[in-house]
Amino acid sequence: MQELGKPGLNREVLSVSGLNQSVRRLLEGEFPMVWVEGEISNFARPSSGHWYFTLKDQAAQVRCAMFRNRNQLQRSTPGNGTHVIVRGRISLYEGRGEFQLIAEHIEEGGDGALRRAYEQLKMKLQTEGLFDQALKKPLPAMPRHLGIITSPTGAAIHDVLTVLRRRFPAIRVSILPVSVQGGTSAAEIRRQLAVANDYRADPFDVLLLTRGGGSLEDFASFNSEVVARAVARSELPVVCAVGHESDVSIADFVADLRAATPSAAAELISPDRVDWLARIAALGDRLVYLHANAQQRRATRLADLERRLHHPGRRLEVLHQRLDELEGRLSGSLKRSLRQPGVDAAAGRLHAAMSRRLQTARSRLGLAHKSLTSPAARIREFSQQAGHLEHRMSRSAHRAVETRAGQLHSLVAKLNALSPLATLERGYAIATDQAGHVVTDARSVAPGEQIDVRLNKGHLVAEVREIHD
């Protein structure tokens, strides 16, 4: 029996490089692609173009390398202190026997996970067809009742109401309050969308889902599947305006119309009252013009007919003259017949009868002449009636325009009276706690707590000193 450690023992001796190769193959074969989150330190970028850095957290660190063919695909170069998420494979650098992570992709931490979830949900809903343009509902040209789903204390509602008051204050606005961020936000938005679609007392014409700017984490509810499907189910057209112009949420893709900002959404929803008043005035002017033009054409036609019309009195005068002529010829014939021998008394009676008939015809003709009314007088009468009607139509058109303008100003006054901004203008204020909830009960806050007091112009940050029931 041989002793251990002595020559001749059957054993396999590995070189250092062989050992490191075996360990590298074992690590690369056993571990799949992994995601590792940490902070970058010792970042180096030599002339080769490769990146070398250390990824660490509070308890440990690991060396990392990202070769040139991979880091060229990155949008930006990370730096020391950057919190990142690295996708890569486990390996071993054989030359120094160092355990390392070969990075394939780097993204910023925090928002990175949210961004991946955002892209995954976006791809899923797009595959289902929720973004198709064929599903988009058109907006009404003249909305009567607008529902705004947003926080009643945020900056977005102030911007929207300011634009609506300037462009078309006659639109009735109802605010459906929700939390625009936080754990309950998505459920609240879904519930208010359902309430708006089922409201029948004074139905909405269009809905606006909006909030102000923030981070990707703040937009979590607007990037949720719950809100996306609630917007897709809405029978009412939905306009979505989330954050600033560069912010695009999942709800924006599903909505019937996406606006870059809350103010831009109000511009798209509301017609311009200046344009509508100008159109009404133009239509009134055109109505007056068409009426005057029609009256002028009728007057020209009447004048032409008057020139072509022969007065019936002249025709009667001709008939009178013809009748006198016939009467004279008849009387002469009868007289000549009576002077001839053999004519008896029958001829005398015929003459008398004919004389009576001529006298009757002459009387009837005289009466017809007296009862005849001159067409010129009738034409003047019709012209006076036409002028009177033209004046009445012009006054009616102006009264209609003035009535519509009065109704518009009345609606403007009513909207201003209902606006929360008008309440602020009268000297009142709206107090909200640190969570953004409106303070309606003094017992809901504690001494030392800070509150935000919104005024007509600006807001104050105040500290609660004392509480009185």
3-state secondary structure of 5: coil
Lowest mean pLDDT among 14-18, 124-128, 275-279, 362-366: 362-366
Spatial separation of the C-alpha atoms in residues 89 and 430, rounded to whole Å: 55
Backbone angles phi, psi at 450, to 5 degrees: -90, 140
User: Out of 2.40.280.10, 2.60.40.10, 3.40.50.450, 2.40.50.140, which CATH number does the structure's domain 16-109 have?
Assistant: 2.40.50.140
- At residue 195, the pLDDT reads 94
Percent of the chain with pLDDT over 70: 83
What's the rounded mean pLDDT across residues 396-400?
Answer: 78
Fold: same for 16-109 and 115-270: no
Q: How many CA atoms lie within 13 A of 137 on its CB side?
A: 16
- At residue 175, the pLDDT reads 92
Give the residue carrying structure tokens 């054989």.
Answer: 94
Domain edges within the chain? 16-109, 115-270, 279-405, 429-463
pLDDT one-digit tens code per residue, 74-85 = 888 888 888 888
Spatial separation of the C-alpha atoms in residues 167 and 160, rounded to whole Å: 11
pLDDT one-digit tens code per residue, 238-269 = 999 998 887 888 999 999 999 999 999 999 99
Q: How confident is the model at residue 138 (pLDDT cuts 50, 70, 90)?
A: very high
- How big is the chain by its Cα radius of gyration, in Å? 49
Residue 49 class from Cβ within 10 Å (0-12 exposed, 13-18 middle, 19+ buried)?
exposed
Nearest in space to 18 (alpha carbons), one of 105, 92, 124? 92
Reply yes or no on whether the pLDDT at 2 is more than 50.
no
- At residue 369, the pLDDT reads 62
User: Do strands 206-211 and 238-242 pair parallel, antiparallel, or not at all (unpaired)?
Assistant: parallel
Could you name the CATH architecture of 115-270?
3-Layer(aba) Sandwich (3.40)
- At residue 82, the pLDDT reads 83
- Quote the DSSP letter at residue 311: P
Lowest mean pLDDT among 134-148, 202-216, 369-383: 369-383
